[in-house]
Amino acid sequence: MKSFLRNSVFVYKIYSLIKNIVISKRGFTLIESLIALLAQCLIIMLIPFFIMTFSQHKHTLFDDRTYDLEMMIKDISDHLNHTDIKDVLLLKKGIEIQNKQSKINYYLQNQKIIKTVNHRGNITLCNEVMNVVFTKVSNKYILMRIKYRERNGFHEKEILF
């Protein structure tokens, strides 16, 4: 009989230890699970909206050429407004700037505006340019008319240096 009591006490202790371990473990409550499901549903519902929005504004986000043009204009204006300029020659489809150290050419060739320094190296500043015309407005100012292709159509801009 003693052995039977020992076994029942021993079994009872194991049972109660397992019961305490199971009760002390914490899991997600129903409210936490529902909030997580709500957040996932909202994200999945907003994905088509974002796809439609980005597809409508694709040409302004990805196909924008203004950065290339602004960098080209900045480069030309930096050289034109430099203090040690000797002479500025307006060519048929380009401009030549002579300063004390070098001769810088900007010209249109194969639908690209190309920059050369001392007739060496070709740096492409802008692509898909149909026409560029430089005209002298006064002794101080030069007007550049540029016609370039962007996606389906053509754009024309006038820049005053």
**Cβ-based neighbours of 72, under 8 Å, separated by 6 or more:** 113, 125, 126
Beta strand spans in the chain (E)? 85-91, 94-99, 103-109, 112-117, 120-127, 129-136, 142-150, 153-160
Residues 153 and 110 grouped into a single domain: yes
Residues 145 and 80 grouped into a single domain: yes
Residues 16 and 24: beta-carbon distance below 8 Å: no
* Count of domains for the chain: 2
Residues 150 and 97 grouped into a single domain: yes
Q: Which domain holds residue 24?
A: 2-56
Residues 93 and 37 grouped into a single domain: no
pTM over 0.85: no
Residues 51 and 121 grouped into a single domain: no
Residue 1, pLDDT score? 47
Residues 136 and 83 grouped into a single domain: yes
Residues 130 and 80 grouped into a single domain: yes
Nearest to 133 by CA among 153, 116, 113: 113
Assess if residue 40 is contained within a domain.
Answer: yes
Each residue's pLDDT tens digit, 88-132: 888 888 899 888 888 989 989 898 899 999 888 888 888 888 899
Each residue's pLDDT tens digit, 66-82: 788 888 888 888 888 87
Residues 87 and 37 grouped into a single domain: no
Each residue's pLDDT tens digit, 13-32: 555 555 555 555 566 778 88
